Structure 1
Amino acid sequence: MPELPEVTALAADLNGRLSGRAIDRLSVVAFSALKTFDPPVDAVRGSTIRGVGRHGKFLDIALDAADGELHVVIHLARAGWIRWRDAPPPPPNGRLGKGPLAARLVLDDGSGLDITEAGTKKSLAIYVVRAPSEVPGIARLGPDPLDASFTEAVFADILKAQGRAQIKGVLRNQAVIAGIGNAYSDEILHVAKMSPYKPASMAAEDVTRLYDAMQSTLREALARSEGLAASELKSEKKSNLRVHGRTGQPCPVCGDTIRQVIFHDSTFQYCPTCQTGGKPLADRVLSRLLK
């Protein structure tokens, strides 16, 4: 799943390609991906793209349309992606909605975007709205961790309010902190040398360590992604992860074997030596190792 660094870089890449361009049409192929009906998809026809931005892990394509401001908001979910296409799209091949193609944004010269989603679990979401706040997921977003207003004091208050909640879940909760997902929460906790099951309410020195790990991890990933085309972002992210997705490999810090915990719909990875005092976490949802 693309997270804050990749979505930021993707927005920047698309902004450079799309700003000032006119839209011929937005064609939704996988109808389950479209989450709104008013305004209709046809309302974007003939509009001019003002720019592309980000809200948490949501992409926001801002438009100047005939009837005023519109936004095409996209959440790529776990397996979605966007591919730039220089040439006009080929004609549909096979049954609509059965392949990876979810939607196409076609510009007035035929170039544009293919919005795709791999796998059988379809979670990608597309919204056509008058304001980003009309998207429920954006309306309930927590603060952006890279915003200047997100200070260590603000972070400490957030953690205190979460009480005994496990820190792994707190970092991933978009209503608490926007933009961090499964991968970067693993990376942040590894840099902080902190158990995924540690309670969110923690000592001041732990708050400082975790805040510094969050800032350095996200900003370093953002710097690596800056200027990359959309086609390069996935491989860049994967190649620079320390523990996430590296079960069974040696920890780059201590050499211990990276382990994983499997939940019903996801997994996370950690280093026992660096994060849990050498103790493996039980591989079940109800584990309560808090070291």
Structure 2
Amino acid sequence: MPELPEVESLAQFLDEHIAGRSVDRVHPVAVHALKTYDPPLTALEGQAFDGVTRHGKFLDLRIGGVHLVMHLARAGWVRWSEHLPDAPPRPGKGPLSLRVRLTEPAGAGFDVTEAGTQKRLAIHVVRDPLEVPGIARLGPDPLAGAFTLAAFTGMLEGERRQIKGVLRDQSVIAGIGNAYSDEILHAARMSPFRPAAKLTDEEVAVLYTAIGTTLGEAVERSRGLALRSLKTEKKSGLRVHGRTGEPCPVCGDTVREVSYSDSSMQYCPTCQTGGKILADRRMSRLLK
């Protein structure tokens, strides 16, 4: 799933390539992905892009007084092309969900795709990004100036959930998903099942630093890369997430996994849980 660093890089790339350019045609291919009907997609045609920004994991393409907002969900992506096919795309079972063709240079534009069978990609055309329910519910951005240690400390006060779940809650902090929450907790040397409200002031400070450092470094690694390289860069930069059975790059212990029905998380026992192995079931507890 694209998370804050990848979406930030997508926004930067698209902003450099489409700002000031006008839309020729918009082709909705997967109608189920379109979550709004007023304004219609055709309202984008003939309008010029003002720029691209990000709200958490949402892409926001500003164009002619409206916003083309996309949430790429688990398997969505944006593919840039200098030479899109001349023939309009046909609805089918392929990954293509939306095609946006620019007026110039002729043939340039981008496709929005979604792989797999679980179709969760969401595309909105709105006059205000806050009309998108997911954006309206977002917590503060962890790379914004307002995300201070004091603000983060206040978010955790009285929080009864495990810290892994808190980091992934978009209404608490915008943009962190499964992969980077694993990376942040590994950097902070903290168990994913640690109750958030029981963290000491020192632990909160360490976790706060790990959030900024982990996300900031990921953004910098992705800066300037072509869109086709972003997924590879993300995977190569991860230390524990997706690396079950591999040695931890910090201590050499074996990276372990806790599996759920539709996802999994990875951690290092030596770095994060005092050498204890977490039970691999949904209601995980430390093995005795």
TM-score of the two chains, using structure 1 as the length reference: 0.95
Determine the structure 2 residue equivalent to 1:131: 128
The answer as to whether partners of 1:74 and 1:125 remain within 8 angstroms in 2 is: yes
Gaps of 5+ in 1: none
SS at match of 1:141: coil
**Residue 100 of structure 2 corresponds to residue 98 of structure 1:** no
Q: Tell me, in whole angstroms, the C-alpha distance in 2 between the residues paired with 1:110 and 1:223.
A: 31
Determine the structure 2 residue equivalent to 1:88: 84
Query: Within 5 A, what are the aligned runs for 1:186-201?
Result: 186-201=182-197
Q: Tell me, in whole angstroms, the C-alpha distance in 1 between the residues paired with 2:92 and 2:75.
A: 15
Determine the structure 2 residue equivalent to 1:148: 145
Q: Tell me, in whole angstroms, the C-alpha distance in 2 between the residues paired with 1:114 and 1:49.
A: 16
The answer as to whether partners of 2:246 and 2:255 remain within 8 angstroms in 1 is: yes
SS at match of 2:94: coil
The answer as to whether partners of 2:138 and 2:174 remain within 8 angstroms in 1 is: yes
The answer as to whether partners of 1:197 and 1:289 remain within 8 angstroms in 2 is: no
Q: Tell me, in whole angstroms, the C-alpha distance in 2 between the residues paired with 1:49 and 1:279.
A: 53
1:56-102 deviations in Å (ceiling 9; x for gaps): 000000011xxxx1000011111111011111324367x61410101
Query: Within 5 A, what are the aligned runs for 1:163-242?
Result: 164-201=160-197, 202-242=199-239
1:11-33 deviations in Å (ceiling 9; x for gaps): 00100000000001221101110
The answer as to whether partners of 1:199 and 1:290 remain within 8 angstroms in 2 is: no
| Distance of aligned partners of 1:179 and 1:290 in 2 relative to their CA distance in 1, 3 Å threshold | farther
| 1:262 maps to amino acid | S
Once the two structures are aligned, what percentage of the paired residues are identical? 63
Q: Tell me, in whole angstroms, the C-alpha distance in 1 between the residues paired with 2:267 and 2:84.
A: 45
SS at match of 2:179: helix
The answer as to whether partners of 1:10 and 1:229 remain within 8 angstroms in 2 is: no
1:263-287 deviations in Å (ceiling 9; x for gaps): 1111000001110111111111112
The one of 236, 252, 263 equivalent to 1:255 is 252
Gaps of 5+ in 2: none
Query: Within 5 A, what are the aligned runs for 1:6-155?
Result: 6-64=6-64, 69-91=65-87, 96-108=91-103, 109-155=106-152
| Distance of aligned partners of 1:290 and 1:144 in 2 relative to their CA distance in 1, 3 Å threshold | farther
Q: CA RMSD in A?
A: 1.5
1:131-163 deviations in Å (ceiling 9; x for gaps): 10010100000000010111011001101142x
Determine the structure 1 residue equivalent to 2:266: 269
Q: Tell me, in whole angstroms, the C-alpha distance in 2 between the residues paired with 1:56 and 1:97.
A: 30
Q: Tell me, in whole angstroms, the C-alpha distance in 1 between the residues paired with 2:28 and 2:208.
A: 41
Q: Tell me, in whole angstroms, the C-alpha distance in 1 between the residues paired with 2:96 and 2:254.
A: 38
The one of 243, 246, 254 equivalent to 1:246 is 243
The one of 266, 278, 282 equivalent to 1:281 is 278
Q: Tell me, in whole angstroms, the C-alpha distance in 2 between the residues paired with 1:43 and 1:288.
A: 53
SS at match of 1:189: helix
Q: Tell me, in whole angstroms, the C-alpha distance in 2 between the residues paired with 1:290 and 1:112.
A: 53
Q: Tell me, in whole angstroms, the C-alpha distance in 2 between the residues paired with 1:105 and 1:97.
A: 17
SS at match of 1:179: coil
| Distance of aligned partners of 1:107 and 1:195 in 2 relative to their CA distance in 1, 3 Å threshold | same
Q: Tell me, in whole angstroms, the C-alpha distance in 2 between the residues paired with 1:82 and 1:142.
A: 25
| 1:189 maps to amino acid | L
| 1:284 maps to amino acid | R
The runs of 4+ residues in structure 1 deviating greater than 2 Å are: 88-93, 288-291
The answer as to whether partners of 2:277 and 2:287 remain within 8 angstroms in 1 is: no
